[in-house]
């Protein structure tokens, strides 16, 4: 085989290696693996809480509280969490291959026009004060670092109102699917990586 032919055949391999390297660097930056403290790896499977890592530090979230039109609703994490790895190449739009891969979120899903409300941190919970113009969500997803956490429990109305106040930890967005509420807590590989 001639030298020019070998170089031509090696081109796709080199391109894939560069993409993988860029993704690894972005993932490391978003997940905080380069921190001096040496953050231990999370094991999301089997968890009954959401392990959040933000600029304010670590936090275990066991409930999402939503205030909407004077009523207060709560979703408990102990009723089920589906963890989806977001540290993947966005292959869902690729013909044939895309049908086999669950889609990842993109920066487009967190653009300014989708922004709904700030998200504040309470004691083991996240609190969202939804505007009256936004319908009550059917599904809540929390996005942080390299994962998205899909809460599978039902939303229950609380008898007592919960004041929504405190330090902002994230932002709520209208999701790409109808009735989906996305809660973005940075850092995340989606918005803080050069790959997406």
pLDDT tens by residue, 30-75? 545 444 333 334 444 567 999 999 988 899 999 999 999 989 999 9
Report whether pLDDT(164) > 60.
Answer: yes
At 127-163, the pLDDT tens digits run 999 999 999 999 999 999 999 999 998 999 999 877 7
Residues in CB range of 54: below 8 A, 6 or more apart: 144, 169, 170, 185, 186, 187
Q: Phi/psi of residue 124, each to 5°? A: 55, 30
What is the chain's alpha carbon radius of gyration, rounded to the nearest angstrom?
A: 19
pLDDT at 196: 47
CA distance 50 to 144: 9
Number of C-beta neighbours around residue 66 at 10 A: 24
For residues 169-189, give the mean pLDDT. 95
Task: Decide: pTM greater than 0.75.
Answer: no
């Amino acid at each position: 085989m001639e030298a020019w032919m070998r170089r031509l055949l090696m081109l796709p391999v080199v391109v894939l290696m560069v993409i993988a390297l860029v993704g690894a660097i972005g993932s490391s930056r978003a997940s905080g693996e380069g921190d001096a403290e040496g953050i231990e790896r999370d094991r999301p499977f089997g968890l009954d809480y959401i392990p959040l890592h933000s600029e304010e530090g670590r936090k275990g979230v066991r409930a999402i509280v939503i205030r909407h039109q004077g009523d207060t609703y709560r979703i408990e994490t102990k009723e089920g969490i589906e963890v989806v790895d977001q540290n993947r190449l966005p292959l869902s739009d690729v013909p044939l291959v895309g049908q086999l891969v669950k889609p990842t979120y993109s920066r487009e899903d967190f653009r300014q026009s989708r922004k709904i409300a700030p998200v504040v941190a309470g004691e083991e919970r996240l609190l969202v004060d939804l505007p009256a113009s936004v319908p009550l969500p059917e599904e809540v997803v929390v996005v942080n670092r390299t994962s998205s956490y899909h809460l599978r429990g039902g939303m229950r109305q609380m008898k007592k109102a919960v004041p929504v106040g405190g330090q902002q930890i994230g932002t709520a967005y209208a999701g790409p699917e109808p009735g989906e509420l996305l809660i973005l807590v940075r850092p995340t590989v989606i918005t803080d990586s050069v790959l997406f």
